[in-house]
Amino acid sequence: MKRQSRRTFIQIVAAVTQNAYIPGFLNGVIYQGKIKRLCVPGLNCYSCPGALGACPVGSLQNALGRHSTGPAYVLGTLILFGVLLGRLVCGFLCPFGLLQDLLAKVPLPKLKLPRWLDRPLRYLKYVVLILLVVLAVLMEEPTFCKYLCPAGLLEAGLPLTSLNPQLAGMRGPLFYVKLGILILIVLLSLSIFRPFCKYLCPLGAFYGLFNGVGFYRLQVEETKCVRCGRCAAACPMDVDVTKHPNSPECIRCGKCRDACPHDAISGGFRCR
């Protein structure tokens, strides 16, 4: 199986596994068993009818300032995912990443934002990450989930309000604001590769911090590289792999490795 087909297969298996509670989809309820104690690695709303685990972003906000150990468990789990996998999570395990990848396959003209706009926007996700923590402590509510998270509306809001009339009656202005955000991200994903991951996702921002120091690394062999630039041209996250193989923006999709005519780029887990 080719690398990109294998990646899509793993993404689908990961998304299905994380949302495998079938009765939830049939009856408009959510899973309430003990597996919910475990955080999943990617952005996957714990109110999705099928969700077996807990979304780390929602859990982090709920745990902040509300327990004697603080958010130690969630933060520890996030650091573990970060140091072991980094943004490999984004490229392989995140269901919302999969959705954007599938939308990017729609044959429409693709846009690349000009550098003067793209570069500052990349820092927006770090602002969202900091605001998420600060506001969760100050307001004692999951502000990211409430006002921004498109995965919550897609995976929980839309299916549950469709299946559960009691919940459908609770739709208010905020529901439609979030629906607007979701539609905007879906439309942007048709022309821009993974706009949510590039510019807004706090989880991607957090995992990106570990790309440079984690166990999973990309390496460019200087003796094989002829500086043809094909890897940089193929990168959907606009990373120049020869200069920054472990950039915080790299989601480890492997398209650079596919594009390299000399097999100069390798990736894998390194203990040293």
> Which residues are near another protein by CB under 8 A?
30-32, 34, 36-38, 45-47, 54-55, 58-59, 62-63, 66-80, 82-84, 141-142, 145-146, 149, 152-153, 156-157, 160-161, 167, 170-179, 210, 212-215, 272
Question: CA distances (Å), 251 to each of 34, 38, 71, 74, in order?
Answer: 31, 23, 26, 22
Cβ-based nearer residue to another protein, 42 or 58: 58
Least Cβ distance, residue 104 to another protein (angstroms): 25
Cβ-based nearer residue to another protein, 142 or 204: 142
Q: What does the block give as tokens for 176? A: 């439609």
Burial class (CB in 10 A: 0-12, 13-18, 19+), 75: middle
Cβ-based nearer residue to another protein, 24 or 236: 24
Q: What does the block give as tokens for 32? A: 């309430």
Q: What does the block give as tokens for 11? A: 């993404």
Which are the contacts of 90, defined by CB distance < 8 A and separation ≥ 6?
42, 97, 197, 201, 203, 204, 207, 251, 252
Least Cβ distance, residue 244 to another protein (angstroms): 14
Least Cβ distance, residue 153 to another protein (angstroms): 6
- E strand or H helix at 265, and its extent? strand 265-269
Burial class (CB in 10 A: 0-12, 13-18, 19+), 169: exposed
Least Cβ distance, residue 115 to another protein (angstroms): 28
Least Cβ distance, residue 46 to another protein (angstroms): 4
Cβ-based nearer residue to another protein, 36 or 230: 36
Backbone φ and ψ of 29, nearest 5°: -125, 175
Cβ-based nearer residue to another protein, 5 or 32: 32
**Angle at alpha carbon of residue 88, lines to 134 and 256, rounded to 5°:** 125
Cβ-based nearer residue to another protein, 100 or 143: 143
Least Cβ distance, residue 53 to another protein (angstroms): 8
Going 97 to 102 to 104 to 105, the CA torsion angle's sign is: positive
